[in-house]
Structure 1
Amino acid sequence: TKSVVCLFWRDPVGCLEALFLHPLFHDKLNLVPHRIYHTAENIVHVYSEWMTGDVTWNMQSQLPQGATLLGVMLSSDKTNISALVGNRSAHPLLLSLANIHMSTHLKLSSNAFLLTALLPIPKFIHKNKHMRGLLTDWLIHESFDIVLEPLKQAARLGIMMNDPARNLWLCYTPLASYIVDTPKACMLTAVGGKTSPITTTMYKQFGDPFPHPPWTAAHTLEQLGSVKVLPKNLEQYFNAAQIHHLSSVDKPFWQDFPLSNPSNFLTLEPLHHWFKAFWDHNVCWCINIVGAKELDFRFALLQPSTGYRHFGEGISHLKKVTGCTHRNVQCYLIGVIAGAVPLAIVLVLRSLMDFQYLAQAPELDDNDCNKLLSSLKSFHDNKSHIIAASGCKGKKKKIDNWFIPKHELLQSVVPSICASGASFTADVTKHAHIVVIKYPARRSNNNNLDPQICRYLDWLKKSSKFELATSLHEAQSGRCANNDQSDDEGDDASRPNATNEATCSLAASAGGSVPFPLCSFSIGNTVISLARDPKINQASIDMTSETFHIPDLQSALGDYLHQEAEKAPHTVGGQRCSPDDIWLPFTHLAVWSTLRIQQTAFHTNNITAPQTVFAAPPSSLWPHGQHDPVIFNVDEGKQSFCREVQLIFHALPPHGQRPRWHDRFLMYVHRLDIIPQDGQDCDPITSLHILRRAKRASRAPLGDVIPLSRIRAPLNLIPCFGKTANKQFSYTDSHAYSDEFYLNKYWHKESFYVLSL
């Protein structure tokens, strides 16, 4: 090498024990393999955590009675530290505990991945490029052998560890998951570049519509034993290994790792294997078939949504595209290309989209796995239409094959879920690179970074341990003090503990003086929040009607009050009962332009990120206003409807009066009706609902006033552009001038699960 090679590492068993013993994870651990079923007949198996997979059952059966598994999760990838100054990089090896709940792993603040080694990045002086790559692979595997040897011994003999409750466990530490991209996976398994790292598939078989046998550890070692050339003869050994589809690594690090098999611990995840494949292939197909100019214009016409990137210049010329951009493009693609490409092309892309979205679910059962296989079969049955439409093109000529490694890996997704559970992702490990590499590097003197990073992390570890110990001690001391105080106070201890001025003020206020309506409230699993101060504090009904272009607002309010008096359901539609000049018991409204909605996740009780819904009046930028669609229920009914929010307001009652409607927020909405498709609710090709804007006999939009509390979730609509999008449209008016829309279930994973499962 051009310089001395250094390996910095710390005891991986100590890292694993630190996670196992961490008090913040005491109730976030699975220590016993278990199986979950949807039915009492134990037919439909549910897969979620690593301990619910089939592999853990097989491992547990090989352990002594009373022993437990501590699954090791590894991840390694080069990361740039300074791209412009010095072009420096690091190669961290991250370690985590697979027994920790995946929902905890996915929280960036949990810091569940620890740096256990800084792998060397050598620069070999060999003249042959392939030999330099071979030597690098050898060095990486040799480094893994050194670093992971304590884990191998623990997996072979077992080791005693304490859990956070001070219980002593006999633990075995198999390799449960290694999160890497496809080229790195081939390097780890010691197979050749044109071979699948998980199955025995060669590159000319990557397009086969059926799975091939797994490439097991025994098979790899058998092939290595067939190579008769000594490894010290580099070029001869390299050529001999290529015949057996190997990468020329003579001693894979996992060969003496008990209970570990590459076909099991190489768990597939979205960032490297799906989002990257989507951008490299699916998007390119669409650009080639639709045309870059037309596709860019369609993306530019989409109405912006808070939290999502708006592609005002299209997508065909994007540079430095990240995984976040991949997701933002993916959630719109099906609705954007519908109508511009043949139906068979939409079906191919939709099948892949369904597969990728469903495979990201935090838990899947046998029925979901069958849906994954069905989507994959639909893709293979129709993928020939992509080549027929000249969708596959290289730099110089048309491509007429399916030699795509990431598509072959899709055949291993369902076996991986059944074996090791779901929800493995590289998103957290990418963030961990920032925490354990880039932040410490910024505090260095930019010379000899690796030892400075290690020293900084060692100091940070000691500081965090001291802070955690003192905080736990203070919490325990406070609890003891509270217990002593509660004995003296008697019944007073059961009173609410008002700890801030707002709580004290509300608790001391007289009955009926609490301000209504409350700006934040929950209905079922939905939380709705409005700003404390409205956009318009006080506006007359006529002024509001004129500002928001709602000519029938007064009569709609009259119909709402009539339904309130009759205690009838608040529906949108039907003949208007109230005249335009009906008398109302109020004259002014308080108006909001946005609201925020937060829900619990479909599969778990975790709270999702809040989403913003707009109901903004016309302006210079938005000549027709900015209005977002939502799902709402009628009087707690199970049937849901799609509506477009035009106005969010609160009717201001006369001073001193408290009518029945005084504590309610209201909204004026336009109705959107589902167009049945061949007797189905969804279009069978796009798998999307098609909505049409409902209109009255006068061709005016059909709208009514309903309670804001009926909102259940925000939605995303994509206008039906047809074969060619109207060149006169822009993103500010494409929704206003469109009458038919696709209900975009791919906008958010939660909306996909609700509308698909």
Structure 2
Amino acid sequence: MGNPAFKGKQFYAPKRVYRNADGTNREFSEMWTGDWWWFMQMELPDGVTIAPVIVSSDKTQLTRFAGDKQAWPVYLSIGNIEKETRRQPSARAMVLIGYIPISKLECFSRKTRSLEGYQLFHECMRTLLRPLIDAGTNGVDMQCADGFIRTIYPILASYIADYPEQCLVACCKESACPRCIINPKERGARLFSDSRDPGITIRVLGEKADGENPPEFDDHSLRAINPFWADLPHCNIFTSMTPDILHQLHKGVFKDHISSWATEATEGGEGEVDARFQCMSPHPSLRHFKRGISLTTQWTGTEHKNMEKVFLTVLAGATDPAVIRAVRGVLDFIYYAHFETHTDESLGLLDAAWLTFHDNKHIFEDLEIRKHFNISKLHNIKHYIDAIRSHGTADGFNTEGTERLHIDLAKMGYKATNKKEFIKQMTIWLRRQESIQRFCLYLQWAVPGYTAEISKNGSEVDEDEEEDEEEDEEEDDVNRVAAGDEVVESYTIAKKPALHNVSVTSIVSDYGATDFLQHLTSFIDTERLVGDIALSAASAFDLYKQVGFVLPPIPEVTSKPTPDVIHAVRAVPAMITSQGIKQAVPGRFSTVLVQESPSIVAGGPLSGLRVAQVRVIFKLPTEFGQYNHPLAYVHWYTPLRPTPNDLDTNMFTISRSSHNHRQRTSVIPVAKIIRSCHLAPKFGRKMPDTWTSSTVLDDATNFFY
């Protein structure tokens, strides 16, 4: 609370935010915009400040190739700090408060060993969180980052963990739900069940400990444990179980279930799906699975996300439409769940995506791929809407953040030990690292102009290195298109073109710009440019290889601008050199969105935009006329419709635009390009064997957008 580094990044009171003046479309983002903080504030004395305590625990492997050395770190943060700061490991807004011991518990019989292990966890957590009992009951005065002293009530509000650990904390079996008391055999249905009640659970567990046999013990699928949260004031441990996007969605619903079911339901099975992934059109933000997906044995969350981006178009045309709709429901749910800012409207779309899956999941039973859907992770996503409304958006509680902390606060510490009694050595090592970090922060505060930081390997990052980075950034010119006083778009391009004096013949043959001279002449006439000489086949041009864009932040997706790059690079054939055979490099011609006409608000976000493929990026020589922006020769695609025209995928379908059986092309200013976009080919029922990733944009005739 008092860390000055968090000044301006902390909030001390709940608030309700609405998109509409009449209060009909509420917004949810940070923890203080949710219902939990609002209702908790009304239960406490007037004028006090709540510190929503966020706890996370996750067992991790320390050894890499051999051995079974593990650590069980417990992390803590507070919901007063904005979630973007909490997600940054370098901000140190989430701190390590202890390691839970990992023991084989050989002193107990096999029959009781598991239960004693569960109880050991709760006893350790009780010890770690004991200070919250008095502070959460009576409050404690603290100096906050803004310099004010407030009476703080720290209350356990969120527990970040994967599903097995959520069940461990909730004292329930892993066949049950840690938030509600649904029957384990009904988890696959669209049912709404009663939430778990902490008071009832504590009473039932107490009666069980006294030798009684209350019926709720089996009905609620409980374990006979004395929970650590029983004495924590104002704590509802069950509603504190927040969404886990990594394990529940990416690694759970998508990877473990829906992707394998859909692959089995696809005509041609794994072979066809692999071939489609191998031939997927490229884009800078996509990973190319050059070997397909079936041969990959070790998956990461990043790979799951890259699969999800194109998985729907991979399946399109090769499986039953109900499979496509079920997969679309899951993917839509995943993307809506990632929103960093939600509203009542977007939560309605999240719920609609969940219903879309349930309306179409029967196809997997019809195809005899599944016999039931009593799967914990399929049921858990039902609680996402309630969790977002009460605690804020799910990106603030993702286990990806805590897994990243394992590197700094567990694995690096283990690497620094001699592997004997390593937990003690790890704590000493971490204490020294924290001392160094605190001293660096003190120097930055006490010494004006001091900017050096201690990196992980102990080296300093000084001002000279920052100056070098600034010099590198000056290599690009930034151009902006202004509409009145408002900057509409910006792009960056190299000061000097990469290729000089490229002939028209080379542009036509190497870049596929068949009508280059014709359309450049038309552009010069339209813009009324006056030059010294006329265009001819003997003219030469300077070409750029790429143009960079900065996409404005979208509150639902990110709070930071996003870099974007478009390419126009010709193919390089294989050649024999003195060092051996140099492999051929395919050409890269990006597909982009172009502002073809003024946008109309009522027409939607794509109004006035059209898809094109950039074939050449060049600078107009001054002898042909003075023009301030680089130009691009583009191939056009058919216009986008007002609404998606493929009902199963809910995507747009377009094809190459032609006139008199010739590709429709133009020369346009680079300033008219809004951003890059990805076109996925329509593979049909069976993908042609001749298609490759580098040629699919030329080989395919229809595309998804």
TM-score w.r.t. the length of structure 1 is 0.82
1:212 to 165, 171, 193: 193
- The equivalent of 2:508 in structure 1 is 545
Distance 1:527 1:708 in 2: 10
Whether the 8 Å contact between 2:262 and 2:327 is mirrored in structure 1 is: no
Structure 1: unaligned runs, 5 residues or longer: 1-19, 232-236, 393-399, 479-498, 507-513, 568-580, 744-757
Distance 1:52 1:223 in 2: 34
- The equivalent of 2:560 in structure 1 is 607
Distance 1:391 1:565 in 2: 65
Distance 2:547 2:410 in 1: 39
Identity among equivalent positions (%) equals: 24
1:717 to 675, 679, 690: 679
1:223 Cα deviation (Å)? 2.5
- Return closer, same or farther for 1:249/1:323 CA change in 2, 3 Å cut-off: farther
- The equivalent of 1:156 in structure 2 is 137
1:312 to 270, 290, 294: 290
Whether the 8 Å contact between 1:162 and 1:169 is mirrored in structure 2 is: yes
Whether the 8 Å contact between 1:96 and 1:114 is mirrored in structure 2 is: yes
Aligned length: 661
1:526 Cα deviation (Å)? 5.0
- The equivalent of 1:671 in structure 2 is 636
- The equivalent of 1:258 in structure 2 is 233
Distance 1:501 1:283 in 2: 46
Distance 1:675 1:722 in 2: 21
Q: How does 1:55-134 map to 2 (within 5 A)?
A: 55-125=36-106, 129=110, 131-134=112-115
1:538 Cα deviation (Å)? 2.7
1:335 to 290, 305, 313: 313
- Return closer, same or farther for 1:519/1:622 CA change in 2, 3 Å cut-off: farther
Structure 2: unaligned runs, 5 residues or longer: 452-465, 482-486, 574-582, 601-607
1:76 Cα deviation (Å)? 1.0
- Return closer, same or farther for 1:548/1:61 CA change in 2, 3 Å cut-off: same
- The equivalent of 1:145 in structure 2 is 126
Whether the 8 Å contact between 2:497 and 2:543 is mirrored in structure 1 is: yes
Q: How does 1:606-645 map to 2 (within 5 A)?
A: 606-620=559-573, 625-634=587-596, 637=599, 639-645=608-614
- The equivalent of 1:694 in structure 2 is 657
2:418 is equivalent to residue 465 of structure 1 = no
Structure 2 counterpart SS, 1:177: strand
- Return closer, same or farther for 1:90/1:335 CA change in 2, 3 Å cut-off: same
- The equivalent of 1:47 in structure 2 is 28
Distance 1:353 1:128 in 2: 45
Whether the 8 Å contact between 1:674 and 1:681 is mirrored in structure 2 is: no
2:301 is equivalent to residue 326 of structure 1 = no
- Return closer, same or farther for 1:558/1:73 CA change in 2, 3 Å cut-off: same
Whether the 8 Å contact between 1:223 and 1:244 is mirrored in structure 2 is: no
Distance 1:666 1:271 in 2: 43
2:677 is equivalent to residue 708 of structure 1 = no
Could you report, residue by residue, the CA deviation over 1:262-292 in whole angstroms, capped at 9, with x for unpaired residues?
2321110310111112100011112211111
- Return closer, same or farther for 1:710/1:272 CA change in 2, 3 Å cut-off: same
Could you report, residue by residue, the CA deviation over 1:356-412 in whole angstroms, capped at 9, with x for unpaired residues?
1111101111111111112212211221012112333xxxxxxx1111111111210
Could you report, residue by residue, the CA deviation over 1:68-111 in whole angstroms, capped at 9, with x for unpaired residues?
11111111111111122433111100111211111222334322
- Return closer, same or farther for 1:595/1:99 CA change in 2, 3 Å cut-off: same
1:468 Cα deviation (Å)? 0.9
- The equivalent of 1:754 in structure 2 is none
Higher mean displacement: 124-133 or 377-386: 124-133
- The equivalent of 2:540 in structure 1 is 588
Whether the 8 Å contact between 1:174 and 1:260 is mirrored in structure 2 is: yes
1:431 to 404, 428, 443: 404
Higher mean displacement: 81-90 or 355-364: 81-90
2:660 is equivalent to residue 660 of structure 1 = no
- Return closer, same or farther for 1:519/1:541 CA change in 2, 3 Å cut-off: farther
- The equivalent of 1:361 in structure 2 is 339
- The equivalent of 1:243 in structure 2 is 218
- Return closer, same or farther for 1:526/1:174 CA change in 2, 3 Å cut-off: farther
Could you report, residue by residue, the CA deviation over 1:45-85 in whole angstroms, capped at 9, with x for unpaired residues?
11111001011111101112111111111111111111224
2:479 is equivalent to residue 521 of structure 1 = yes
2:618 is equivalent to residue 649 of structure 1 = yes
2:369 is equivalent to residue 411 of structure 1 = no
What amino acid is the match of 1:199?
C
> What root-mean-square deviation, in Å, do the aligned CA atoms of Structure 1 and Structure 2 show?
2.9
Structure 2 counterpart SS, 1:664: coil
2:258 is equivalent to residue 285 of structure 1 = no
Whether the 8 Å contact between 1:587 and 1:652 is mirrored in structure 2 is: no
Distance 2:488 2:85 in 1: 21
Distance 1:284 1:216 in 2: 36
Could you report, residue by residue, the CA deviation over 1:539-560 in whole angstroms, capped at 9, with x for unpaired residues?
2333322321212111111121
Distance 2:57 2:389 in 1: 24
- Return closer, same or farther for 1:198/1:525 CA change in 2, 3 Å cut-off: farther
Q: How does 1:188-199 map to 2 (within 5 A)?
A: 188-199=169-180
Could you report, residue by residue, the CA deviation over 1:100-155 in whole angstroms, capped at 9, with x for unpaired residues?
11122233432221111011001111675552221111001000000001122211
Whether the 8 Å contact between 2:529 and 2:626 is mirrored in structure 1 is: no
Distance 1:728 1:222 in 2: 68
Whether the 8 Å contact between 2:503 and 2:538 is mirrored in structure 1 is: no
2:242 to 267, 277, 298: 267
What amino acid is the match of 2:682?
C
TM-score w.r.t. the length of structure 2 is 0.88
Distance 1:716 1:64 in 2: 54
- Return closer, same or farther for 1:243/1:315 CA change in 2, 3 Å cut-off: same
- The equivalent of 2:456 in structure 1 is none
1:609 Cα deviation (Å)? 4.2
Distance 2:243 2:654 in 1: 36
What amino acid is the match of 2:199?
A
Whether the 8 Å contact between 2:63 and 2:69 is mirrored in structure 1 is: yes
1:429 Cα deviation (Å)? 1.1
Whether the 8 Å contact between 1:586 and 1:653 is mirrored in structure 2 is: no
- The equivalent of 1:530 in structure 2 is 493
1:176 to 135, 157, 160: 157
Distance 1:681 1:283 in 2: 24
Whether the 8 Å contact between 1:623 and 1:733 is mirrored in structure 2 is: no
- Return closer, same or farther for 1:407/1:190 CA change in 2, 3 Å cut-off: same
Whether the 8 Å contact between 1:288 and 1:390 is mirrored in structure 2 is: no
Whether the 8 Å contact between 2:443 and 2:450 is mirrored in structure 1 is: no
